[in-house]
Structure 1
Amino acid sequence: MTPPDQPPPLEPAELSAYFALIEVSSLLRHTIEQQLREAGDLSYVQFQLLATLGDAADGSRRMTELADGVVYSRSGLTYQVGLLEQAGLVARAPSAEDDRGVTVTVTEAGRDVLARVFPGHIEVLRELFLEPLSGADVRTLDRVLGVVRDHMRAVPPRSARSRRKGAARRRPAVDDA
């Protein structure tokens, strides 16, 4: 019997699904990181930032939006954006909407790097992740992971929470990575 102050143990299928997700994520990320380094001298986070900016209609996002979108600490994001800026792949400017905010914009050089790394990135995704799945499997996985993602994102992002101690529910530690 489980003591009243502890959650019940996970069912075998729950534990198996969790470990499979962790292993698949680790294996895929490792190979993707290698491909990004070789093709564009980018880290995984730098690629996420460039891809997010490249996907924006005007190529720009506020720093807080970037941090919340890629689930990265503000200080870590500032460092990574600084590296991208030194490489000429992004530019930073004061936000037009908020004097305290900073907007990051992908440059043409950043778009060129994205164009160089995307073909290999897609190849890795297809070969390692999508190849063993049917179209129905992919749609099911998309639906299931979307439900989990939306559930996890229901906790306000770090930038939207009050900074007072105890004022808001603490987000999982991955936010502080």
Structure 2
Amino acid sequence: MMTPRWLTEAEQDAWLAFLTAASLLERRVGRQLERDSGLSHLQYEILVRLADASDGELRMTELAATLLNSKSKLTYQVDQLEKAGLVTRRTCRQDLRAVYARLTDAGRERLEQAAPGHVDTVREFFIDAFTPDQLAAVAAGFGEVNRRLRESPE
């Protein structure tokens, strides 16, 4: 059995700072979106992904993979967006198992209304907290974390 490589004090400080900041930032962004647009953070991200997709639609499995969420959690959120008239769903004629989510005009309008406040919050509590060099280091560091996690089997 290998001896664990325990975290140094500096490594522990960095890890705890990340955990705390990630939790506080997610909470702040979620509250801002709910208050200003009635959307959860995940609902906002669903609308963003659909708006960025060609024809404003994505297959639900692709949307779940892009958002790194379970299909059941995504289905619930899309149900809520569909009830609000922000998204519609359709099946594929060639593959009846395939379901697509499509952004409606009302969904695009809600996204356009929500985006400025969301960007202001992200800028205030994340982007502007760093110098340009620090921001580049954060992007590079988390890019590497993402790469390792995506390539490593669970």
Calculate the TM-score normalised by the size of structure 2: 0.91
The equivalent of 1:127 in structure 2 is 124
Q: CA RMSD in A?
A: 1.7
What secondary structure, in the 3-state scheme, does the structure 1 residue paired with 2:129 have? Answer: coil
Aligned residues: 154
What secondary structure, in the 3-state scheme, does the structure 2 residue paired with 1:99 have? Answer: coil
List alignment gaps of at least 5 residues for structure 2: none
What secondary structure, in the 3-state scheme, does the structure 1 residue paired with 2:114 have? Answer: helix
Q: State how far apart, in whole Å, the 1-side matches of 2:141 and 2:95 are.
A: 37
Calculate the TM-score normalised by the size of structure 1: 0.80
Matched, 1:15 2:12: yes
Question: Which one-letter code corresponds to 2:142 in the other structure?
Answer: L
The equivalent of 1:66 in structure 2 is 63
Alignment of 1:85-104 (within 5 A): 85-95=82-92, 98-104=95-101
The equivalent of 1:31 in structure 2 is 28
List alignment gaps of at least 5 residues for structure 1: 156-168, 171-177
What secondary structure, in the 3-state scheme, does the structure 2 residue paired with 1:58 have? Answer: helix
Query: Deviation digits for residues 42-75 of structure 1, max 9, x if unmatched?
Result: 1111111111111112211111111112121111
Q: State how far apart, in whole Å, the 2-side matches of 1:57 and 1:28 are.
A: 30
The equivalent of 1:105 in structure 2 is 102
Question: Which one-letter code corresponds to 1:49 in the other structure?
Answer: I
Q: Percent identity?
A: 37
Query: Deviation digits for residues 21-55 of structure 1, max 9, x if unmatched?
Result: 11111111111111111111011111111111111
Q: State how far apart, in whole Å, the 2-side matches of 1:50 and 1:97 are.
A: 25
User: Which of 139, 142, 145 is the aligned partner of 1:145?
Assistant: 142
Q: Is the 8 A contact 1:62 1:95 kept in 2?
A: no
The equivalent of 1:42 in structure 2 is 39
Question: Which one-letter code corresponds to 1:73 in the other structure?
Answer: S
Matched, 1:118 2:154: no
Shift of 1:107: 0.8
Shift of 1:122: 0.8
